[in-house]
Structure 1
């Protein structure tokens, strides 16, 4: 993004023992077709984009100021794939709605009285440290984008959350800080001469991305990876019942400098997302090679040309940045056509990389996506009764030249899959006999839940016995793998083997100790006495509890495979037992 007029400013707030907070403001890089835009960072981990647009003419029929504030929470901000059925963001959360109100309160009275132009502020949460509170950052972002929009606005408005913790005032406290706060307040206001005008008081990841820009079209691509169990489940007339690669396309109204509805995707957004998805599906690695659910989001931050083909390019860059081993990079280009009657003969001129006006006034919108060797997706819309095959053939060749030029530039940015995000799960796979799936799952999921809880790994089981194990560190994945294999491909226990077991049940005659998932043994009360100097024990609850860890050794295995355990005693316990 060379040559852009990007301006930024930062302020650091020192909260003493509670650490420093850096708030950084930036404009001129993203969503430049909105009347005013601002990107605000908190500690370089939380990022909010605010865009303000206004209608060109007033709505004189209104007797109120038509200001709309929308807050869009993106799940990729915290490295997650949405858990909803459609694996896509839906209605705004309660937090988002309350943040909208928090922004509206101080900003609304700052506009000139009598203004009737529609004004829309859209704040998008694009990255978030989940310990950060983004609502007050959103006030500052919305104020800055509105100030830059050139509207009759008496800002800027500054917002701060302040909390009293251990006798100290802390600015922009985290969620964890507020656990010990005795006072929590949000204040927003502006400087009026030498005084401060208070406008409002209220008391009380995993992800990789890339930006592709061509002319005024600007696309932000974000890739989120997760376990296969997070793939989208389909309930349609189509026989396909799941979707591993999910491509969502968002086209906010500020991308063309307009106001409009935000929220659920419109038909155009669904269609553009589907076209970009079709373009990339042929180059994605298979499930066995790359066992991840992949959610790709294309945010159209600016539009004057084909945002769907821009989405293909941005997605390729983002997927490679996320470490997805694509078979080949994919780029897309939109071709146009102008035709006219010249001396009684229709002549055609193909246009490469059409702008919005050329799309509107031209005779064809021909979108072509592909690698350097193959076309992966096509879409043709025309206003003519038909287009000669020779004209289409020439347009395809012209599109290839442009596609290769774009791929060359993309290759200079990233030419191979990057390292995966450290927060993305590392997934290993194993195969077990199908008849052992039930044993691994256990009654009502007891066994698999126990393995996940004890190891910290996530486990997904396929119908053919393939098991995918995901964890952010290799130790947890290996521990889960060992636990599964001990059930599905058990090694017969041998006398003398030692385990650090967990007490799972107490009885009058002893304690049952879990050695491995699905494998328990009995530590008889006579053996428990040895752990306590041979003293008589009236009630086992007096000396041990369910959940306690105990080191034991297999002392005996009966013909039915039942295990009798003996405790592993330290030297002091041995001497106490001997003296008894």
Structure 2
């Protein structure tokens, strides 16, 4: 039966009891022409461990958009990144609702059966998933809603369409119940604002007649803490409206809760008192061990010692029970130190950031690199620059054409980073999620009209909390180390909250222990001017808006501290210019394209061979793209092309018009002078490049004096031997048309 709900700028139609009727709960949700099936199933036998064995699988079917999968295998195979990240969002939003001690294997499956390009699939998927779980016999008695908040022309918009979102400066995704928020993800979106500029400010070599077609761009959008809080308020109001509507419709349809057995927490007051009396200091010393592996070994030793005590033998304490009590006691000590003593396990103040060290371009053959170390968390960020054909191609269900990603962030987390032995595996949901967070933080500060494809890889070499934020810090500097003109530096910091009764503590730069034993953690990344990305996994029940505001502003203080250190490191960057690839894109008069090509393609072939570059020409727009492995050679090729373009066009090179078409009479091109091999002539140095010098010869033609022909030994710097306008005697070594190779006559 269909149930229509009008809420938050969209009509949601839930078809209940029609399909997947053997699942514990299922719905088919329709929003416009998007249809999503959500079904949840539960095993009857619980697992041994005390955790929620929930698996979420969000799968997009290409038939939903009227397409057949690309590639050799014509069916859906491995989920794409968007599917994996959406599964992760649903998992993080629903997992907190399961009852304590619930240990029944549960699988939530979502199929996108039909796709409307204007519908937000992540919002629709979470709402469908929540409905399926709520209607099932699983004892969950709260509805969850997901909403997206955009900011268009300075106004907050609830659930913007996909087209509207492209014009938004904010992308805030929030999931929650009527009473509390569960998950927040936020990113700022770069905008492409056209600003007319004087031609000389863009490129003094270009023809001034083209200035009216050229603009500069400004991209960054940052949101201050108050703006973020206002957007979250909008989201909370929208979630309350949606969940209230769901409750009214779904409650009468909900299945009766299944009678289930729940895992009891392993507790024992006597053992707890025994640990407190005799092992309190030992536990505190174990807590002070910063490395996870060292702390775990010390706690294991304490457990073994207790198990060997006479009282443990007499009382027949089980090791599993003692282990649970010791770990619970450890958690209590950590929390009480923070809230009541205002000190942390490593001795830091609550607002103190761990020591930071930064080293840039330590990898000689990488385009850009940065080793960022904060306490016992260390990220090696490496940037590689490529051309427009190096981007990652992917299909997006809401887009008709294949998309290309020209900024990729890959986060890797090997076991040795936390002292564990294990095989290297393909990236999982956590790795994809952390990489996506770093990308969202950094992308708004990149030039929206950049020519390069950028791949940023973060190798986590050591981890004790906040490795995703170390990736952001190291990645921001690695981009600068690769010579990219990012608008501002971006820093990331992980914050924590701990509550004990009516007291709370906000922690800056949390480590792994505090993440594990705290009540809330959230990650904030941005510049000095505002936040570019935010991720929170929280439950705001009992947490006031003032506490959240306190945490956001404390994060700003920590972020500014890190940025100050990063700015000093930025000033010391030495760019690897010799290995950086170069890409130039500029516009000329379209009628001059034929001059660059030359008769039969002769001129462009000579340019490609001479400067070892690739040259792409767009005839209609007059665009010229030059790419090569050497910045100097690319710039030299551009210089020569501009010289060709700026010469009067007599039609000789590219097939200019003759008088047969009634146009201007064709003039003869100036003949190329011919020299004898071995002939010595007078010349003048007109340009110096890293691979030699160009010498003007009699007849107004240039020859190339290669660096190997300047002296009897290797020349490291041509300018040490030659200078512009210097008169030289050169020998003609070889001539092939306009291409002349020279040797320096001693």
TM range (shorter): 0.3 to 0.5
Structure-1-length-normalised TM-score: 0.45
- Determine which structure has the larger helix proportion and give its number: 2
Larger Rg: 2
